[in-house]
Amino acid sequence: MTTSPKHPTAAHGVADAPLDLLGLVCESLPSGLVVFDATLNVVFRNQAAELLLPGDRDVSKALSRLAVESTYVDWEAELRKVLATGRSQRFDITVQSDDQSRMFLTLAMAPLRAADSAEPVGGFLVVDDVTLQIGIERRLAVSERLAAVGKLAARVTHELNNPLDGVLRYTKLAIRRVGDDDAKTAEYLEKARSGIVRMGEIITALLEFSRATPGAFEQATINKIVEDAIVAMEGRARESQVTVVCNFHQTDMPVVRGSSLFQVFCNLIKNAIDAMPDSGTLTVTTAMVDSEVVVTFEDTGVGLPEEADKIFEPFFTTKEPGKGTGLGLAVCKELIDKYEGTITAARRESRGTILTVRIPERNCATPPLKRSLRS
């Protein structure tokens, strides 16, 4: 085989093609291409391969230097097997890049034969970075799972709401009948009532997550919706000795339609309170920044978990079993996405978490309400 340090051997059928042109084509490939001889020495490596497999002239050593997270592979043995048997091999591996993120690569090894010989005189290795494709496939899998959960949630809600409501009503009646005559029985019934209410909340969360569009609601300013959410969570805040501080943008804020933002704000306030079980301060701020409505929820609680990037994923929760479904923040993100807005989380400098909701002003209803916050 005649090789060049810059260009791969011209294959049969393209012998008339200039090697410079062939090399240019190889260099422009998005996949990494490595051509090696029978001693496993690299005779050509395009620019993509330089990025994915830099370094050693020995292709087996270059592969071994990858920070492979999957099972160990004897690359020299695998490459020699390709040359000995004349059969191609394919591997899917996970590697760790310089910035500590994970990359998913596919490696395809194949023998290279000269035009006048049936025996392999070398081989070539094609390396593809499929990280983006794997990410898309995983997101599609999650989407399919959520679609199935949505359908199931609708069915479960329809089937369980009526009997659950009946059980709750009869439990309340039993608590009234018992009264102060039997304090222990009243205590047990109250715990049963709390459990039924909790079941209703879980069913409602599943139903809201399955909805395609936010429900209709009277128009209100962002400030008014935030204030209503704070009032709705006032009892929970009082129980946890959490002080809520409001810093509202005083000029007229845009008006929005729909109960979905009220649900988002209630969820964020509830999560903040839950993060401060032994008292703390929640500061809620509204503002207009660069044609965006910005609402921040800053707490002095336990802070974000180590896997902070997963908090908006469905079913991810740091709460104890039975105290969280892992759907609250996922529902919030889903609803904010419908306004083409964003919701992000960050750690406070000292202690706690800052959750920020941004909604483009153009996606809010107009004109704004001409009334004060407390009217």
Residues 225 and 333 in one domain: yes
Q: Select from 169, 186, 210 the last residue of a domain.
A: 210
Residues 112 and 241 in one domain: no
Residues 325 and 254 in one domain: yes
Phi, psi of 68 (to 5 degrees): -75, 125
pLDDT in tens, 292-331: 899 999 998 877 776 666 677 765 565 554 445 456 677 7
Range of the domain at 229: 220-363
Residues 108 and 188 in one domain: no
Determine if the pTM surpasses 0.75.
Answer: no
Residues 288 and 229 in one domain: yes
- Residue among 252, 246, 303, 298 nearest 275 (CA): 303
Q: Select from 76, 107, 129 the last residue of a domain.
A: 129
pLDDT of 220: 79
Bridge partners (DSSP) listed for residue 127: 32, 107
Residues 94 and 30 in one domain: yes
pLDDT of 5: 43
67 in any annotated domain: yes
Q: How far apart are CA 130 and CA 14, in angstroms?
A: 30
pLDDT of 295: 93
CA distances to 25, 111, 128, 131 from 108, rounded to whole Å, are: 19, 10, 9, 16
Provide the token pair at 332.
């919030």
Q: How far apart are CA 164 and CA 148, in angstroms?
A: 23
Residues 224 and 318 in one domain: yes
pLDDT in tens, 81-113: 888 888 888 888 777 766 666 777 888 888 887
pLDDT of 212: 45
CATH number of residue 273's parent domain: 3.30.565.10
255 in any annotated domain: yes
pLDDT of 205: 64
CATH number of residue 53's parent domain: 3.30.450.20
What is the pLDDT tens value at each position of the chain, 375 positions in all? 334 444 444 443 334 445 567 667 777 777 888 888 888 888 888 888 887 777 778 888 888 777 565 556 788 888 888 888 888 888 887 777 666 667 778 888 888 877 777 777 888 888 888 888 877 777 777 777 766 766 776 677 767 777 887 888 888 888 888 877 788 888 888 888 888 887 777 776 666 555 544 444 457 788 888 888 888 888 888 888 999 999 988 776 788 865 578 888 888 898 888 888 888 999 999 998 888 899 999 998 877 776 666 677 765 565 554 445 456 677 788 888 888 888 888 888 878 888 899 998 888 764 333 333 333
Residues 99 and 33 in one domain: yes
Beta strands in the chain, from DSSP E residues, in sequence order: 32-37, 42-45, 89-96, 102-113, 120-129, 220-221, 242-247, 255-256, 280-289, 292-299, 342-347, 353-360
215 in any annotated domain: no
Burial zone of 128 (CB within 10 Å; 0-12 exposed, 13-18 middle, 19+ buried): middle
Q: What total number of domains does the chain contain? A: 3
1 in any annotated domain: no
9 in any annotated domain: no
What is the separation, in whole angstroms, between the first and last Cα of the chain? 88
pLDDT of 356: 92
CATH number of residue 196's parent domain: 1.10.287
Is residue 247 helix, strand or coil?
strand
C-beta separation of 157 from 61 below 8 A: no
272 in any annotated domain: yes
Residues 121 and 140 in one domain: no
pLDDT of 326: 52
84 in any annotated domain: yes
Buried b vs exposed e over 252-283: b needs ≥16 C-beta within 10 Å?
Answer: ebbbbebbbbbbbbbbbbbbbbbbbeeebebb
Residues 201 and 88 in one domain: no
Residues 231 and 348 in one domain: yes
89 in any annotated domain: yes
Q: Select from 183, 210, 237 the last residue of a domain.
A: 210
